[in-house]
Chains A and B, each alone.
Chain A
Amino acid sequence: MSGEFKQFRLETRDWLERNCPASMRAPMPPEEVVWGGRDAEFVNPDSKLWLERMAARGWTCPTWPAEFGGGGLNPAQAGILAEELARIDARPPLTSFGISMLGPVLLEYGTLEQKLEHLPKIVRGEIRWCQGYSEPGSGSDLASLNTRADLQDGYYLINGSKVWTSYADKADWIFCLVRTDFEAPKHQGISFVLFDMASEGVSTRPIKLISGSSPFCETFFDNVKAPAANIVGRLNDGWTIAKRLLQHERTMISGFGLAGGQAEGGGASETTLESIAMRYRGDKGRLSNPVLRDRIAQFKIDSEAFALTSRRSAEESTGGGPNHISSMLKYYGCELNKRRCELLLEAAGNRALGWEGEGFDEEELSLAREWLRSKANSIEGGTAEIQLNVIARRVLDLPDLTGILREKR
């Protein structure tokens, strides 16, 4: 490793040592995740301090250019920062759709004004974004969407409704797909528009999930006004941006597949699948249920292979951003996370099946909730089946039946 990187590592380590509060170096309970926004909540006051310090260096978005508030790091430096954060088990200072989804496409397709207006606020966690893609009639067939935007006096007037909009009730702004050409084929009449959720005419209604929480909403637009300058990219070319953003989203979601942990560290921790399985069976040194043991081993091998593949994919795409392999990682990562949750349920027996109240500890209660939540992994961000379609067509170059039949007609 060159001297420059060595120096960077030492400085980073030193800075983190002095600036990462002790309570930020412990596992993060879900309620302490920092999403930012106008009404940001900080369950733990240290979280606010940690966010402010990291944001001041641009390290909530390490590779974004400094002129937009980012850290301006090159990939190698960003890798070192990530390793140093991992080394002290530091929590992510900020989690947001702005960071993982909107920011990357604004950097690629936004105007200078759009970048200057929105990116620094994402870096600092001042504005929380939500994603207005799915509609009641348009899920997997997203391009069939009907929410419309009509140009009127320099504004787009937006009407329609979205569904499954994660955190729409808590978000400040939305990036939204709208139809702006009603004559063109479905993919060619869509635009990508940004607007404030506090605008007149926006309303949301939370939906409760099988896991008991209500992270997403139905979202209604009734003559909502968005300035014409808020279209990202070219008018009617929103599908290009929509797809690009989905690649970023899929890469982000594929990270669920890393929850199984790098197998290397396994064994020592109290929270690994195998140690939970052994604890509830009173086993020492060897898991007594041979079937479960075999399946956990298989799961861990797949998790390790998956983590290596994520790394390889990142190395292969240096600079190019996510590619079609993101569909494979999304597909596999989500299946892995579902497998992990099912195995946890088996590992803990009826102790994992408690819903609320006395008789179960926090960890046990979270197992059932997490298991239920994991079922969404292969639905959100494009279903498993849609990812397999993308792999078949885009990666394996297999023919498109719908296209063939259309031509024959």
Chain B
Amino acid sequence: MAASMLLSEEQQLLRESARGFCREQAPISLHRKLRDSRDPDGFDRDLWRRMVDLGWSGMAVPEEFGGYGFGHLGLGLVLQETGRTLVDSPLIATVLLGANAILELGSDRQKAEILPRVVAGELLLAFALDEGALHDPARIEATAFATENGYALNGAKTFVLDGHVADRIIVVARVNDGSNGAGALGLFLIDAAAPGLEITRTIMVDGRNSANLHLSNVQVSADRRLGESATSPADLDRMLDIARVGLAAEMLGSIEEVFERTLDYLRQREQFGVPIGAFQALQHRAAEMYSEIELSKSLLRAALAALDDPVSDHRRIAKLASAAKAKLSEVFFLVSNEGIQMHGGIGMTDEFDIGFFLKRARVAQQFLGDAGFHRDRYAALHSF
């Protein structure tokens, strides 16, 4: 029988405690404060420490590497709640991308060395994949030339989330080691302070931090290559799919929050002597959003369950991950736009929070592939 679509009691408790934490300790006002003060880190280190204390940095990390073994669903539930209050934190770059890359693609030695430090909150990571305006893991032009005791990295990376604060950065490059293996993928864990690495912070429309990287002859030793051998495109994809589903979970939380805020406004704002939510034109649009959100929840739940299910093969995970990222991107687009429109003029003011969700929506839509990218991939995975 297929896995249940319902949450266990333990999972419900986890979600509730995460919700309470975000509401009390990481409300949207904190996001506003970080943005307004142009905070050099872009997140609150004190808050991050508290998140680490709650175990969020080790949610999906197995116990043997210092984590808590709550699985991808556990991390997904936490991300969903951080999405509700737009929490700026290293959860995405360090945990969802960084730790996950090491867990999926690293050697046992690398896992044992790095993961416990990530879980303990001692190490911040970033993941440098894309090079152009669009997410495209098939187009990697950064190169890694084999040297005597390692590799020399060259190239440029964009949209590297938390690239300006990370201690270590995982760089995806094409390896040229002189053999016929030229062009194989390699993921390299480099030090943020490595000579030849130039990091430019870029502040994105959602207020979060990305960076552009420039690598000229950055030296990295052979034992810093994840897995210490070639990474196949399929392996990279598997790792990216986990991150896509986690990102979709964060998106769902934001979607639910905009929708609930918008419903509240529909019930409370009066025009023509009645609450505007009594107008059928708005009711039907709200009902359509509700339907789309229910579908999104189911898809996400199934995708998270598939990640944790030891018998699901990668093709199934890939299909669900692309379905979820495509659908959640569409629905976030819809709900963030309607959220502004249904608030009228006040929705356009910077003082009001709803606009933050619109800005976050577009960045999250692009990140790790937009709806078009994932529908194309979904079709290919279904052989059409």
Contact = CB atoms under 8 A, between A and B. Distances in A.
A305 B298 contact: yes
**Contact size range, B:** 35 or more
Given A395-B290, A401-B278, A404-B278, A297 B267 contact: no
Contacts of B284: 385, 388-389, 392
Contact of B5 (A296, A302, A311): A311
Nearest to A273: B384
A275 B383 CA distance: 9
B266 A298 contact: no
B274 A297 contact: no
B379 A293 contact: yes
A234 to B, nearest CB: 32
Interface stretch (A33-41, A63-71, A144-152, A260-268): A260-268
A83 B383 contact: no
* Chain B interface SS verdict (over half): helix
A398 B278 contact: yes
Contacts of A348: none
Interface in A76-101: 79-80, 83
Interface in B289-305: 290-291, 294-299, 301-302
Interface stretch (A121-129, A239-247, A325-333): A325-333
A274 interface: yes
Contacts of A332: 291, 295
A320 interface: no
A190 B280 CA distance: 27
Contacts of B288: 388
A285 B375 CA distance: 16
B384 A298 contact: no
Interface string A258-298: 00000110110000001101100000011100000110111
B78 interface: no
Interface in A392-409: 392-393, 395-401, 404-405, 408
Contact of A294 (B267, B287, B299, B379): B379
Nearest to A286: B384
Contacts of B316: 264
A328 B298 CA distance: 14
Contacts of B278: 398-401, 404
A300 interface: yes
Nearest to A277: B384
B378 A300 contact: yes
A398 B277 contact: yes
Interface stretch (B48-56, B249-257, B319-327): B319-327
A385 B267 CA distance: 20
A112 interface: no
B384 A404 contact: no
B279 interface: yes
Given A315-B5, A401-B279, A300 B382 contact: yes
Contacts of B382: 263, 266-267, 274, 297, 300
A398 B323 contact: no
A401 B298 contact: no
Given A286-B384, A294-B376, A311-B2, A396 B287 contact: yes
A306 interface: yes
A312 B5 contact: yes
Contacts of A264: 316, 319
A79 B1 contact: yes
Interface in A112-154: none
B287 to A, nearest CB: 4
Given A298-B375, A300-B382, A328-B291, 8 more contacts: A80-B1, A274-B384, A294-B375, A294-B379, A296-B384, A300-B378, A305-B298, A392-B277
16 contacts: A267-B384, A277-B384, A278-B384, A300-B378, A301-B299, A301-B326, A304-B323, A309-B294, A309-B295, A311-B5, A311-B298, A328-B294, A332-B295, A389-B283, A396-B263, A398-B267
Interface of B: 1-2, 4-6, 263, 266-267, 273-275, 277-280, 282-284, 286-288, 290-291, 294-299, 301-302, 316, 319, 323, 326-327, 372, 375-376, 378-380, 382-384
Ordered nearest first, which 7 A-B pairs have the shortest CB separation? A392-B283, A274-B384, A308-B298, A391-B287, A312-B5, A305-B295, A401-B278
